[in-house]
Amino acid sequence: MSSSPSKKIRIGICGLGTVGGGTLAILQNNADELSRRLGGELEVTRVASRSLQKGQAEGVAKTGTDPFAVVNDPDIDIVVETMGGFKPAFEVVKQALSSGKHVVTANKALIAERGNELFAVAAQHGVNLNYESSVAGGIPIIKSLREGLAANRIEWLAGIINGTGNFILTEMAARRCQFEEVLKQAQALGYAEADPTFDVEGIDAAHKLTIMASIAFGIPLQFEKTYTEGISRVTPDDISYAKELGYRIKHLGIARRTERGIEMRVHPTLISRKRLLANVNGVGNAIMVHGDAVGSTLYNGPGAGAAATGSAVVADIMDIARALIAGVDHPVMPALGYQSLNSELPVLSIDDIESEYYLRIPVLDRVGVMARISNVLQEHDINIDAVIQKEAVSASVPIVILTHIAVERQLNKALHAIEALADVSGPINRIRVEPLLGEVRN
């Protein structure tokens, strides 16, 4: 015969949109299962939402529109922040932590840009600030990096961490459509916002990469140093040329430990079509992590949605509740997984990274143009690995070049010189290449 729960943990939710609503539904629908796992009871006793609909918070004793009423309720043990944005989310989280309440947040922007300050407040007041749901929805990547892979020195990680961008590139490849056409489709399906900037320009992915890199390498959060580039310049022709060369184009977040410092960058990337990441399509997310002991591991699943992200929020609630039920009212796990962070480890500028490159160069159909381009690249110590040169169907024809590894600063100088050639008829499209993704990189 099972014993009845011995302790009740009271939860307040600020924000009852997609994620907050999904969290509440899981807590209510799976209450018995969660109680059996905990040996205690989780009860949502208060919610606050700007636009609370009738029947949206059934079974909750106190409802309202003011999130600070949740924070200031003395009976609340854990505050869940699922409002998004910075205002009033930052003030809500900070006040809750300062009041000695544990907090769970799904707010990736808040953690990436203000997390250092909030983690310091949490540590000062001996409470947890958990944020599993801020990265990759239902994929438990924070727990994997911080706990499951704690024995490893993480060498690199790379991921498809924005479902909207991955959907757009997948559809462009399948249907040979232009970016603008597929973006409209993504908006019609609800995958992209009316203002899609955060998704298609890589800001959302940069927030997530910043968080993962800090945990992977034990460095402070440094969103401002994460290089960010979107997918709006990728064309169906680029996708076709990449396929001809044996690659697919994905919008990746990449963080790598090098002898000179840490790389943190989000941009379109050519990866071998044989790699697992190259075959993650649609709105799915996937993250590959390489540790020195375990090698490469892949985490794949839904990166957004009410149930998936709500699942991650509830997992964080469970971690805090277990500690409270066990009588541990202070954090056992440091917020980023390290008792001390390495503030001296530099984050490299994009100019200092080394990569292979895909170049699509529009040129006039003239004799010797390829030789002149090759000479410029050679002058800048950049070697050519492969070339695609199509028959001319107009005055301008693209030359596609795949380079060997080069320093980005040198490549930029070479591209500036090439664009100055009289034979070149327009701007060069450059996409970075990660040919060894999924293998150990020397």
Q: 143-302 adopts what CATH topology?
A: Dihydrodipicolinate Reductase; domain 2 (3.30.360)
Reply yes or no on whether 208 is catalytic: yes
- Residue 331 amino acid letter: P
Q: What is the β-pairing status of strands 354-364 and 396-403?
A: antiparallel
Instruction: Report pLDDT for 441.
Output: 42
Q: Among residues 101, 143, 208, 250, which one is catalytic?
A: 208
DSSP element (H, E) containing 250: strand 247-257
Domain range summary for the chain, segments of one domain joined by +:
8-138+306-325, 143-302, 354-433
% residues pLDDT > 90 (the chain): 86
- pLDDT attached to residue 369: 94
184 CB neighbour count, 10 Å cutoff: 13
Q: Which residues of the chain have pLDDT under 50?
A: 1-5, 440-442
Q: Kindly tell me the sign of the dihedral angle through the C-alpha atoms of 93, 96, 98, 104.
A: negative
Q: What is the pLDDT of residue 442?
A: 42
Side chain identity at residue 387, one-letter code: V
**Pairwise CA distance, residues 348 & 206, whole Å:** 15
Q: How far is CA 185 from the centre of its chain?
A: 22
* 361 in Cβ contact with 399 (< 8 Å): yes
354-433 CATH pick, 3.30.70.260, 1.10.10.10, 3.40.640.10, 3.40.50.300? 3.30.70.260
Kindly report, residue by residue over 223-275, the tens digit of the pLDDT: 999 999 999 999 999 999 999 999 999 999 999 999 999 999 999 999 999 99
**Per-residue model confidence (pLDDT) at position 1:** 32
Whether the Cβ atoms of residue 79 and residue 102 lie closer than 8 Å to each other: yes
CATH number, domain 8-138+306-325, options 3.50.50.60, 3.10.100.10, 3.40.50.720, 1.20.120.140: 3.40.50.720
Position 432 scores a pLDDT of 98
pLDDT for position 396: 85
Cβ-based neighbours of 190, under 8 Å, separated by 6 or more: none
Query: Hey, do 143-302 and 354-433 end up sharing a CATH topology, with the first three levels equal?
Result: no
CA distance 298 to 301: 10
For the chain, what's the residue count? Answer: 442
What pLDDT score was predicted for residue 56?
81
